[in-house]
Amino acid sequence: MNGLYLSRHELSAIKAIDTHEVERRVSQALDEGPSVLFGLNLSNAGSHITDHMHRYEQDLAKYAKAKASTKRSETRGRAWSSGHDLIYSIRDMKQRVEEQEKEMQLLRIDDLIRPPSRFQDRVEVRIHYQWRTAVEVDWEFRAITFYHDVDMRPDYTQPQPTRKPSAAKLEEQRQDTLYRHWDHLRVLALHSVREFFKAGGDGSTIPEKFEAKPGRTDRYLNNFSCNFWGESGPIRKSEPVRLAILKVGGLSDDCSSDGRFTLQSRVKHAKFGEGIVIHIEADKITADFGERGPKRVMSSFLEPLG
């Protein structure tokens, strides 16, 4: 289940990476093969790095198999590009480690939230957090509960089954639907609390409960649904909650090169499911896919939602 922070194992693994050694071996692998990558110990550094490593190894294998000169030139260029993507991903994650350690000196949010064993139409997420104004000041502890009444009316825009499912199957589908709504609420709630503090909000003013509601013309929660600070306060309601604070790719573009996606927009991927855009670099989109974590994909593989 994806949270706000890197785990202790990921932090240790990322800190232990020698970026210069990785750069040397990535360049060397183009001529000597993927065997020179053994021993880099990237497997525990999180999916953002390991996904790039896997892609680089695949591109190296295609380059090694290529025979024709044009094919070798094409596959070498692709391998060179994915190798540099691997290097950039390591740099980005090292920057994220620094930012996380700095943030956690003043703010800590419990992002390990387990779903209930059974869902009701009202889904709830309780966020525990602690904060202080300076390192020498004692921590203050509080929590906020976000709740949302899920609209469970049938969606007739989707294909309907030819046969009526059994009662047990209907309940299973109902629980799956409620889980997806709960998980979406969890992601929005975590980021709203974090952004509130990052914008200078006072933790003592956060309410104990807040009802997350969809927009007037939609039945699903959007990126403003968990803005518990309302019209006034340290964050204006018109400002979007910047999910790009995850810093998975340096400074993010505001919009993809094809104009289809912006930060925080909801997207769908054939393999990873529904997610929220957290970083944009031209036509490369990084989205948070909940349990599957952040994934970087080409914009052409995504569909906009809502």
pLDDT band at 291 (very low <50, low <70, confident <90, very high): low
Q: Give CA separation, 101 vs 1, 7, 93, 227, in Å.
A: 21, 12, 12, 26
Task: Kindly tell me if the per-residue pLDDT of 232 is higher than 60.
Answer: no
Closest residue by Cα to residue 150 from 219, 210, 211: 219
On the 0-12 / 13-18 / 19+ scale of CB atoms within 10 A, 167 is: exposed
Segment 226-244 mean pLDDT: 52
Q: Express each pLDDT in 121-174 by its tens digit.
A: 999 999 999 999 899 999 999 999 999 999 988 776 667 677 888 889 989 999
Segment 182-197 mean pLDDT: 94
pLDDT band at 39 (very low <50, low <70, confident <90, very high): confident
pLDDT in the model for residue 242: 38
Q: Express each pLDDT in 202-226 by its tens digit.
A: 899 999 999 999 877 778 898 889 9
Q: Which of 88-92, 221-225, 235-239 has the lowest mean pLDDT?
A: 235-239
Decide: 248 and 278 in contact? Cβ < 8 Å.
yes
Q: Express each pLDDT in 194-205 by its tens digit.
A: 999 988 888 999
Q: Which of 19-23, 127-131, 262-266 has the lowest mean pLDDT?
A: 262-266
pLDDT in the model for residue 251: 65
pLDDT in the model for residue 2: 65
Beta sheet of 107-109, edge-to-edge order: 107-109, 122-131, 140-149, 209-211
For residue 108, the cross-strand partners are 130
Task: Kindly tell me if the per-residue pLDDT of 287 is higher than 60.
Answer: yes
Which position has the higher pLDDT, 211 or 231? 211
Closest residue by Cα to residue 89 from 42, 144, 147, 24: 42
Tally Cβ neighbours within 10 Å of residue 65. Answer: 10
Pairing outcome for strands 284-288 and 294-298: antiparallel
State the distance between the two ends of the chain, measured CA to CA, in whole angstroms: 24
Average pLDDT, the chain: 86
Q: Which of 6-20, 234-248, 272-286 has the lowest mean pLDDT?
A: 234-248
Which position has the higher pLDDT, 193 or 292? 193
Task: Kindly tell me if the per-residue pLDDT of 58 is higher than 50.
Answer: yes
